[in-house]
Structure 1
Amino acid sequence: MAAKDGFAGPILHFRGCDAEGLRLAAITVRPDGTVPGPVETQGGSIAPVLLDRVAGLSVWRHDFTLAAGEPGYRLDGRAHPVVTRLDGDIRFAFVSCNGEENGDLDRDEAERNGMWARLQADHARAPLALLLQGGDQIYADEATHGHPLTEDWPKHVPDDPSASDLEDLARHLEAGFAERYMMVLAAEGCAELFATVPSLSVWDDHDICDGWGSLPENRTNSAVGQALFAVARRMYLLFQHGATEADVPALFMDPAGRNLGWRRDLPGVTLFAPDLRSERHRDRVMGPGGWDAVEALQPSGNHVFMVSSVPLLGPRLSLLETLLMAIPRMQHYEDDLRDQWQSHAHRDEWRRMLGQVLRMRRTAPVTVLSGEIHLATRAEMGPDATLLHQLVASGISHRAPPQAYARALGLFAGLGETPLPGHPIRIKPLPGQRHRYAAERNYLTLDRKSGRWQAVWHLEESGPTPPLALD
């Protein structure tokens, strides 16, 4: 269960469920030349398949199904319990922002993963059926350091690097990304969680580099920028989905792989996550692959959960964007503001997405899950007849910003925003909290009890909030 000497896993990935049971993929990471044993289930023994080799490591996958009511699986002599009944009462967790931009590899492990350890203990008390990860599962920003082509990324990009130099850069980046994924996936505070709770993940900018898609396009479209994106995508598929390019048509809504948004259905629930990074550039959030998938999506079940790596319901950030761009010293925040749905550059797309979510809302209640801002908050949109909830849980390991920042943002949010006529957005405090934004590390749990959903935020200092009804 430790990254020491190149060992990590098993790490479960949710593939779906049907009449045969819960379909899973488990990846294990071993040093090259070391092969994990078979997975043992009630249905038999499943041999591992080699997915890929990266930075002296081999990544293996077991694909298997657990029948409803089956207690779990065994691997290398160890039993791993799994929740296999997904009808009736079930429990999910949602996390985001697992790291920091600077020095993440050097942080004290117990401090860094304190909230992971709390979530793991929470799971031991009341087992989770699914772990939803809403973006920035790693902070890869410093992976570009130490190579001449990217030492000054993104401030400076070489004009015409040679093919051999780009190949050398790819190897350097692969090693840096693999090191960060191994640190996360094998951490003592969460390794058992990953082995027993299947994950579904969507990526955000730090899974590539800070501000990917909102940076100047002569950076992201350069040979160096495209090499960085190619490595980040390969590592994202491998470590966050247990997949390679060959698996893309089966796992994602766009079979061409232009956009890595996904959809999964459980009894009574539709889960979907648009990919807000693969097709992003400064003047758009998604391209044809993403929009075709979202507009064709017809949810089923009694509740829809949408994972938006960037909050869909937010304050009037376009106003803040205008103010900051008028102040030369503040213009370095442009990329951060352009990342948001509310940016001047994306408002038409924002309304388009809100319209699609309201279309789905006519079928069933919709709850948006989001991260990205390193704070916890919630929002509502619209009149009661079409009420939309957004729950933001951000900062499972990223340290919270100062309280003064949260208070100032809360005052700004009081201005309100109505991107669609008749559907005002209101930023609200968490249950039991006085202020709109909570500046504490946090994660979210979602419980379905007797057919009705409720949410609880778990705050590092304040503890769990009272439950919020979502139906």
Structure 2
Amino acid sequence: MTLHTPPPTGPVLILDDVRDGRIHLAALFIAPEGAPPAPIETADGAVAPTPLARYDAATVWRARFAIPADRTSTYTWRGETHEVAGDLRADLRIAYVSCNGEEIGDLEREGSERNAMWARLRDEHRRAPFALLLHGGDQVYADEITDGHPLSDRWPDDIPTDPSPDALAALRHHLRERLLERYASLYRSPEFAWVAARVPSLMQWDDHDICDGWGSLPTAATRSQVGRTLFAAARESFLTFQHAAADGDLPRRFADRAGAHLGFTVDFPGLRILAPDLRSERTRTAVMGAGGWAMMDAEAARDAPGHTFLMSSVPLLGPRMSLLEALMVAIPKMQKYEDDLRDQWQSRNHREEWRRMLRLVRAVARSDGHDVVSLSGEIHLATRAVMDLGAGQELHQLVASGIAHRPPPQAWARTLGALAVLGEDPLPECPIRVARLPGQPTRYVAERNYLTLERTGDAWAARWELERSGTTSPLAL
């Protein structure tokens, strides 16, 4: 009997950078051990993948190549030719997704139900191609990777105080293999795989890429040896699977090539994608550390005409979550949700830092000829908000969440809508209002969704694709 080696998973296209009139890409593959993927064939020649990370029964491979940034291009792998919409000069279409999974039982979900919105995005790309796919956080739900190992089985409630080096090494191995399982399951799903082979991705992480509430959990958990082992394994996997990179080999778009934080910037003609890292340096009292703020200050001072899309993995604008946070702390049965609210910019623990970020964004928006749009996910609802910047300018925030995570109950959407009525003004001269999506009766829409951003000439517009309600009318930005 002849045994057939299963084909590699991939290619998944990752955008390394845009420079010198070229789009620099990495194609990621997950292949069974001993079965390297075939080369990528381009107009410039063939590129053989090289190993990036090794696991018990699989190896992750990467092939780097470049295509022109002024036209549609193709590449071929294993006899199949894929088209990439690489003209970045004028009209442009971008998709934004977040929350691609669920906390419990995600690997056991039926595929066509789980990936229904990916199928819709795939079909939309066939009608009108996207040049870029932005992932706003929680690309993978790693919450269950701690199960099945004695050091982490009760994470984060019961943590061993002095595990041996051998036990920690065994834990790291366990976590890496479980992370591989989750990423491989995600990347081999047919709906995602079709899109990922044709549309380059830029990915920003959030807590579930590590574990629920990372950075907002008690310090005793996150700074423990088990906690640091968990973070290190998740960070390595984030670089491997979401950036096709490794320490010492980060793409040029990363602000800190040493990787102390993983914020990055990519410049398109007339568009800057700015993605600060809101997890690597996070603590219970800080969203970003010195490295992240240095990046943001430098970007605020840099001339970048046109638009900036600021990727904030948790919403930058929102209702008075601090009121709900205070209520939950006062009610013992609700205290388990405190970490979820501490995760938000609007938390009372982050208010001064939130004001700092809003002032920085306001300064960027007020610079000559510039517009800023904030893109967020995380809350498993679709919504938008507007901050009045004065002098006729506004900061738009667009929230699309989640593409695979099922929505929360309608009662939660109504609760947030009621809070939004109260308004919020962390900068008193710049009031914030939570607004309705075009054509929607409520401020928060409890449907699975993704966002499309389209530039026609110099004008940008946004549309939400809602699972039940369909496509919204365009919102001018």
Q: Shorter-chain-normalised TM-score: which range?
A: over 0.9
Give 3-state SS (helix, strand or coil) of 1:421's partner: coil
Question: Would the alpha carbon gap of residues 437 and 147 (structure 1) be closer, same or farther in structure 2, given more than 3 Å must change?
Answer: same
Residue in structure 1 matched with residue 145 of structure 2 by the alignment:
143
The number of residue pairs the alignment matches comes to 467
State how 1:16-27 maps to structure 2 within 5 Å.
16-27=17-28
1:156 to 120, 136, 158: 158
Query: 1:420-448, CA deviations, whole angstroms, 9 ceiling, x for partnerless residues?
Result: 12100100110000100000000000000
Residue in structure 2 matched with residue 355 of structure 1 by the alignment:
359
Distance 1:327 1:20 in 2: 57
1:253 to 249, 252, 255: 255
Is this contact kept in 1: 2:135–2:201, CA < 8 A? yes
Is this contact kept in 1: 2:247–2:258, CA < 8 A? no
Query: 1:209-233, CA deviations, whole angstroms, 9 ceiling, x for partnerless residues?
Result: 0000000011000000000000000
Whether 2:336 is the aligned partner of 1:340: answer no
1:466 to 465, 473, 477: 473
Distance 1:302 1:139 in 2: 35
Distance 2:304 2:229 in 1: 39
Q: Report deviation, 1:70.
A: 4.6
Alignment TM-score, normalising by the size of structure 1: 0.97
Is this contact kept in 1: 2:463–2:475, CA < 8 A? yes
2:108 to 106, 109, 113: 106
Distance 1:158 1:433 in 2: 50
Residue in structure 2 matched with residue 50 of structure 1 by the alignment:
51
1:395 to 397, 402, 405: 402
Is this contact kept in 2: 1:21–1:84, CA < 8 A? no
Alignment TM-score, normalising by the size of structure 2: 0.96
Residue in structure 2 matched with residue 242 of structure 1 by the alignment:
244
Q: Report deviation, 1:43.
A: 1.4
Give 3-state SS (helix, strand or coil) of 1:417's partner: coil
Whether 2:377 is the aligned partner of 1:371: answer yes
Distance 1:177 1:445 in 2: 29
State how 1:301-316 maps to structure 2 within 5 Å.
301-316=305-320
Whether 2:167 is the aligned partner of 1:165: answer yes
Distance 2:382 2:241 in 1: 26
Q: Report deviation, 1:403.
A: 1.2
Question: Would the alpha carbon gap of residues 240 and 249 (structure 1) be closer, same or farther in structure 2, given more than 3 Å must change?
Answer: closer
Distance 1:211 1:346 in 2: 15
Q: Report deviation, 1:247.
A: 2.0
Distance 1:433 1:55 in 2: 49
- Structure 2 regions of 5+ residues with no counterpart? none
Q: Which amino acid aligns with 2:202?
A: L
Is this contact kept in 2: 1:269–1:301, CA < 8 A? yes
Percent identity among equivalent residues?
54
Distance 1:56 1:168 in 2: 17
Residue in structure 2 matched with residue 66 of structure 1 by the alignment:
67
Give 3-state SS (helix, strand or coil) of 2:30's partner: strand
Whether 2:449 is the aligned partner of 1:442: answer yes
State how 1:2-41 maps to structure 2 within 5 Å.
5=6, 7-41=8-42
Q: Report deviation, 1:52.
A: 1.3
Residue in structure 2 matched with residue 229 of structure 1 by the alignment:
231
Q: Which amino acid aligns with 1:37?
A: A
Distance 1:145 1:55 in 2: 19
Give 3-state SS (helix, strand or coil) of 1:419's partner: coil
Residue in structure 2 matched with residue 319 of structure 1 by the alignment:
323
Give 3-state SS (helix, strand or coil) of 1:351's partner: helix
Query: 1:287-311, CA deviations, whole angstroms, 9 ceiling, x for partnerless residues?
Result: 1110010011125131110000000
Moved more, 242-251 or 95-104: 242-251
CA-based RMSD: 1.2
1:281 to 283, 301, 313: 283
Q: Which amino acid aligns with 1:134?
A: G
Is this contact kept in 1: 2:95–2:134, CA < 8 A? yes
Q: Which amino acid aligns with 1:377?
A: T
Distance 1:239 1:27 in 2: 8
Q: Report deviation, 1:5.
A: 4.6
Question: Would the alpha carbon gap of residues 183 and 6 (structure 1) be closer, same or farther in structure 2, given more than 3 Å must change?
Answer: farther
- TM superposition outliers: structure 1 runs of 4+ over 4 Å: none
Q: Which amino acid aligns with 2:403?
A: I
Moved more, 248-257 or 184-193: 248-257
Q: Report deviation, 1:155.
A: 0.5
Distance 2:254 2:198 in 1: 23
Moved more, 405-414 or 191-200: 405-414
Distance 2:46 2:430 in 1: 53
